[in-house]
Amino acid sequence: MFRFTLQSRLLHVGGSSAGWAPRSVKHAQRHSKQALQLSRQRFHLQKENARIRQSVNYDYVEQRRMQGKSREALSTAAHGLIHSVSKGRNHDASQHFYSPQDRADDMATARHLLLLGEAKRREMKRGRTQRLETFRSLKHR
């Protein structure tokens, strides 16, 4: 019992040659109120960025799904037209023959549909680039 009081007395009076501190300066700065507030702020910012990224990803996936469906529909319609032209079938029941002008019109329509599908593909690529740019800008906030 006497030993504990002697040790506490020596520490209280300053019996050691170096100053006694419960925490080093670096440790005190690391656990200061300002450091904890900054850490909390950073945590909330990261959480908000993750929420925004998740929202952007969700919107992007939905947009890609819709664009893919429309692109597939355009492609299917164009290939159907090309197939019917090659078989010589006319979709108009009142006409019994398939004129060269009808073939040319159907091929032009099919070409237009394929060009729309290609434009849709480019738009999807541009959307992917914009999404990556959004993520990069969030990183550097």
Q: Residues of the chain with pLDDT > 90: what percent?
A: 19
Q: pTM to 2 decimals? A: 0.53
**Token reading at 38:** 């900054």
Give the 3-state secondary structure of residue 93. Answer: coil
- DSSP code for 140: T
29 vs 76 pLDDT, higher one: 76
Q: How far apart are CA 98 and CA 121, in angstroms?
A: 33
Q: Where do the domains of the chain lie?
A: 32-86+99-141
Q: What angle do CA 126, 128, 134 make, to 5 degrees?
A: 105
**pLDDT 10s digits, 115-138:** 998 998 888 888 788 888 877 887
Summarize the confidence of residues 11-29 as an average pLDDT.
63
> How many CB atoms lie under 10 A from the CB of residue 113?
20
Q: Mention every residue, 6+ apart, whose C-beta is less than 8 A from residue 96.
A: 90
